[in-house]
């Protein structure tokens, strides 16, 4: 089995080579991202392994299909970079729906703590032998209210962490689990209630047509003054220009971002010796109350091992004719495990 990996970093090679000892696939790693210019590299392979910044649009799908490729495995959870309608009845798409929810939940908490207590600033100040604490005033997290939008696996672990701090948690999800909320000390509310009463708002929902720009000018106006915004989910959940305007007006007190709506050009790459041409990202980086990390919330040893294991197992299941619960249903956009038609072999 010949597999072409795109947008590969050294840590990808290390984790996949280790897990591949159990599968013995023939893997070719490409540092290039998959797009219409690089798709020719996929010729001669049987499987494509792609990442979040690969551009798998209609034209790329058509090229891959013409090469005889039947399977694309995503080594990530998100699939908004894939044209599912074009892949229907041509190429199967499988993903890694979960790797380490602890990693992302813990990173989210780290962003909150760093912004609140200015830990990232203190690090650089003491490096200059400056031990003043002026400007580092924070607040007790105990007793504050956190609004959590989306209550999937990551959010549930995050909520448990917040409970450990003694915080009040309000949550919103289109499919609320009231019994779970009662047993885990949080409350489901509508979005207006969440915006109005939260000291911190953290995003843990998928990117859909309904959630795109869920944080925007009108929703920001409903929030408390000096609210903290955290996003470790998907960049386009926030309208960045509206976020910048609110930061300038001191409506938003701080923001922690592990994702950015136009991140594909910059995140995961080294631009330390180059200029950033994205004026919006450059402006964000000028705020001393904004902390940006480069889509690293998932980045733990355990998560990389799980990603590699699930990705290669997805390939094995597909070609062995086993059930493929991580395949994306082309008709309804759900994972196979959530689609009864796929389970009975009728959706594709």
Is residue 178 annotated as a catalytic residue, yes or no?
no
Cα 223–80–266 angle (5° rounding)? 80
Residues of the chain within CATH 3.40.50.720 domain(s) are 2-99+301-343, 101-292
pLDDT digits (tens, 9 = 90+) for 55-104: 999 999 999 999 999 999 999 988 889 999 999 989 999 999 888 899 99
Taking residues 168-184, report their average pLDDT.
97
What is the fold, at CATH topology level, of the domain defined by 101-292? Answer: Rossmann fold (3.40.50)
Sign of CA dihedral 238, 240, 244, 246: negative
CB 47 within 8 A of CB 3: yes
Catalytic, 125? Answer no
* CB distance 329 to 335 below 8 Å: yes
pLDDT tens profile 128-169: 999 999 999 999 999 999 999 999 999 999 999 999 999 999
**Which of these is catalytic: 33, 92, 95, 263?**
263
Catalytic residue from among 46, 204, 234, 309: 234
Q: Which CATH number fits domain 2-99+301-343: 3.40.50.300, 1.10.10.10, 3.40.50.720, 1.10.3720.10?
A: 3.40.50.720
The most confident of the ranges 39-43, 203-207, 261-265 is 39-43
Q: Is 263 a catalytic residue?
A: yes
For residue 240, give the nearest of 271, 223, 219, 262 by alpha carbon: 262
Q: In the predicted model, what is the mean pLDDT of residues 313-324?
A: 95
Q: What is the pLDDT of residue 78?
A: 83
The rounded distance, in Å, linking the Cα atoms of 257 and 255 is 6
């Amino acid at each position: 089995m010949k597999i072409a990996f795109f947008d590969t970093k050294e840590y990808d090679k290390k984790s996949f080579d280790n897990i591949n000892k159990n599968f013995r696939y023939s893997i070719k790693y490409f540092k290039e991202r998959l797009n219409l210019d690089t798709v020719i590299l996929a010729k001669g392979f049987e499987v494509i392994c792609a990442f979040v910044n690969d551009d798998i649009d209609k034209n790329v799908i058509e090229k891959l299909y013409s090469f005889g490729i039947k399977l694309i495995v995503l080594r990530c959870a998100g699939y908004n970079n894939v044209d599912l309608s074009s892949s229907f009845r041509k190429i199967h798409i499988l993903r890694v729906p979960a790797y380490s929810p602890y990693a992302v939940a813990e990173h989210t908490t780290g962003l909150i703590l760093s912004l609140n207590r200015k830990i990232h600033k203190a690090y650089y100040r003491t490096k200059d032998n400056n031990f003043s604490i002026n400007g580092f005033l924070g607040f007790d997290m105990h007793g504050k209210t956190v609004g959590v939008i989306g209550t999937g696996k990551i959010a549930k672990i995050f909520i448990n962490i917040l409970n450990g701090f003694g915080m009040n948690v309000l949550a919103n999800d289109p499919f609320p689990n009231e019994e779970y909320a009662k047993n885990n000390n949080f409350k489901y509310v509508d979005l207006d209630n969440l915006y109005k009463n939260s000291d911190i708002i953290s995003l843990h929902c998928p990117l859909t047509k309904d959630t795109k720009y869920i944080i925007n000018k009108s929703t920001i106006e409903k929030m408390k003054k000096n609210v903290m915004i955290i996003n470790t989910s998907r960049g386009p959940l926030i309208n960045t220009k509206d976020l910048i305007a609110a930061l300038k007006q001191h409506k938003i007190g701080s923001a922690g971002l592990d994702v950015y709506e136009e991140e594909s050009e910059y995140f995961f790459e080294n631009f330390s010796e180059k200029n950033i041409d994205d004026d919006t990202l450059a402006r964000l980086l000028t705020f001393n109350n904004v902390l940006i990390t480069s889509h690293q919330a998932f980045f733990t040893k355990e998560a990389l091992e799980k990603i590699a294991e699930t990705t290669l197992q997805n390939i094995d299941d597909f070609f062995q004719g086993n059930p493929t619960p991580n395949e994306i249903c082309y008709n309804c956009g759900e994972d196979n495990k959530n689609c009864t038609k796929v389970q009975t072999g009728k959706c594709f």
